Structure 1
Amino acid sequence: MSGAQGRRCRAWRVTRADGAVLGFTDHDRDLEWEGCRFRAGTGLSAGQIELSTGLAVDNAVAAGALSDAAVTEGDIARGRFDGAGVELWELDWAAPEGRRLLFRGTFGEVTRAGGAFEVELRGLAEALNVPGGRVFQRTCPAVLGDRSCGVDLSAPGMSVEARVGAVAEGGRVLRFAEAPALPPRRLERGTLRVLDGAAEGVVAAIKEDRQDGDWREVALWFAPGAAPVAGDRVRLEVGCDKRIGTCAGAFGNAVNFRGFPDLPGEDWLVRRPVPA
């Protein structure tokens, strides 16, 4: 093989949701263009890439080695690569301006084991698989604190910061010696955000909020990949059960309620008049 054909290589550009841009190449030297350095030997290699016309979803699988300089196990556990944008280029390393884009999409599921990781790549048509439109239901479909809800979670009584006193069940249960200044069970269906420590940036959904003796316990639905430890500072945000009574009573936000509380149930179809 000679000439430009013998100088072919591949390069990856990964853009995370936090704005960090990482470059990788299978060439034996670093490459650079458009202000991005594509590092050699750091690791991404692709299997077969399936490309199609029409609206079918293009997909691929990439694998690489975990390293402190590129993709770390901690960053994966904290979800920093979730939904990251990815571009795969084929190019002549001696003349990168003539590069050809082979694939553009996002990171899907990322798995890691034995110092390596494997990531599912999803094409741009993947977004068309997301259900759209509005659902007519009794409960509110809005997420507490989002634009359609309108509740300000930074307002007094909506969230509280606290230091983790102890951790149990592999990080699924957090205990606080100084009980958060919120009524019991107020945090159920709420959100936990880790503000510092090794697990900084981790966000998890709260399942239970209970008092256990001198401890206030918060149980998560799942143990996060990077769990906070005793001494870490977290932010605890209140939850909502999506009912009109809670929206009006606990938040004074009935005007923004997005559900249909008077919608008849399925049993309405088989009801019949009775003498009573």
Structure 2
Amino acid sequence: MRWTSSDAPVVYAGETYVPVTLGRSEPESRNELSRADLTVTVSLNNPSARTWMQSSLDSLITLTVFAKEDADVTVVWKGRLASIKPTDATIELLLESIFTSLRRPGLRQKYQRVCPHVLYGKGCNLDKAGFAVADIATAVSGTSMTISAAASYPAGYFTYGMIKTAGGVFRMITNHSGSSITLIRPVDFAGDFNITIYPGCDRTITTCNDKFGNRNNFGGFPYIPLKNPFNGSSIV
């Protein structure tokens, strides 16, 4: 997306920047603006921000801020979207400077028994469409609901999975037993109770292999010994 705070479209480098209502917070205290973290505020109805708010931010979303004075255009800030915070009337995009990546360790995966990958995300590489179960939610009350199709699967099959509404909103499933599903928090169905549910994973190699047939992408180290073979101390 290409936005401008101007009241008219701006064309730069062959691209058109569309005027939208937006604001920017005062940068954090830094010697250089380019190294500061920013908060960009847009309207609650901004379609791009609403899409990012409903996703898990698995994909990298970057922002480049240009300053235009007459014919001169300069880059004053670059960074990535770190998190999103909706308010009553706006959506706040919390962004961190590109310089913060220089402070991170190069290797971030831990030596652990369970898999660190996000289910259906990068590293896991499962296509969630292949595990989707479509149905209609009934007896909805807060975080609890009844989904008849879920009764065809063993208890816990959808636990730690997710539900997707017809409006594209995702919610994590915290418990599944029979046709009963419990969500991490309520969801607004907006009158359309058609949903899609996806099974969950407890991140063990047994579940990865037996439930999803995805052992080749398992990212944990399930065979870590319980005790250090050299001195007998615990290493887990």
Q: Same fold (TM over 0.5)?
A: yes
Write the distance in 1 (CA, Å) between the matches of 2:128 and 2:88.
40
1:32 and 2:7 correspond: no
Q: Quick one: which of 55, 60, 80 aligns to 1:106?
A: 80
Are 1:165 and 1:230, in contact at CA under 8 Å, matched by a contact in 2?
no
Alignment root-mean-square deviation, CA: 3.7
Are 1:168 and 1:174, in contact at CA under 8 Å, matched by a contact in 2?
yes
Q: Quick one: which of 115, 127, 147 aligns to 1:140?
A: 115
Map of 2:97 onto structure 1: 123
Cα deviations by residue, 1:208-255 (Å, 9 ceiling, x for unpaired): 1123xxxx222223446xx33553332212122222333343345545
Q: Quick one: which of 190, 214, 218 aligns to 2:161?
A: 190
Q: Quick one: which of 54, 58, 64 aligns to 1:78?
A: 54
Q: Quick one: which of 170, 183, 188 aligns to 1:220?
A: 183
Question: Compared with structure 1, are the counterparts of its residues 243 and 120 closer, same or farther at alpha carbon in structure 2 (3 Å cutoff)?
Answer: closer
Question: Compared with structure 1, are the counterparts of its residues 71 and 233 closer, same or farther at alpha carbon in structure 2 (3 Å cutoff)?
Answer: closer
Write the distance in 1 (CA, Å) between the matches of 2:27 and 2:97.
14
Deviation at 1:99? 0.6
Map of 1:14 onto structure 2: none
Are 2:38 and 2:94, in contact at CA under 8 Å, matched by a contact in 1?
yes
1:89 and 2:60 correspond: no
Are 2:44 and 2:50, in contact at CA under 8 Å, matched by a contact in 1?
no
2:110 maps to amino acid: V
Are 1:30 and 1:38, in contact at CA under 8 Å, matched by a contact in 2?
yes
Q: Quick one: which of 154, 175, 178 aligns to 2:146?
A: 175
Cα deviations by residue, 1:156-212 (Å, 9 ceiling, x for unpaired): xx331112224322xx33332454532222111223233x23xx2x2332211123x
Write the distance in 2 (CA, Å) between the matches of 1:151 and 1:72.
25
Are 1:49 and 1:59, in contact at CA under 8 Å, matched by a contact in 2?
yes
Deviation at 1:103? 0.7
Unaligned runs of 5+ in 2: none
TM-score, normalisation: structure 2 = 0.73
Write the distance in 2 (CA, Å) between the matches of 1:147 and 1:79.
14
Map of 1:259 onto structure 2: 220
2:76 maps to amino acid: L
Unaligned runs of 5+ in 1: 1-20, 272-276
Map of 1:10 onto structure 2: none
Corresponding residue SS for 1:219: strand
Are 1:193 and 1:235, in contact at CA under 8 Å, matched by a contact in 2?
yes
1:165 and 2:138 correspond: yes
- Percent identity over paired residues: 18
**How many residue pairs are counted as aligned between the two chains?**
228
Cα deviations by residue, 1:105-140 (Å, 9 ceiling, x for unpaired): 123333343423433221113345377343222223
Map of 2:173 onto structure 1: 206
Corresponding residue SS for 2:22: coil
Write the distance in 1 (CA, Å) between the matches of 2:176 and 2:52.
28
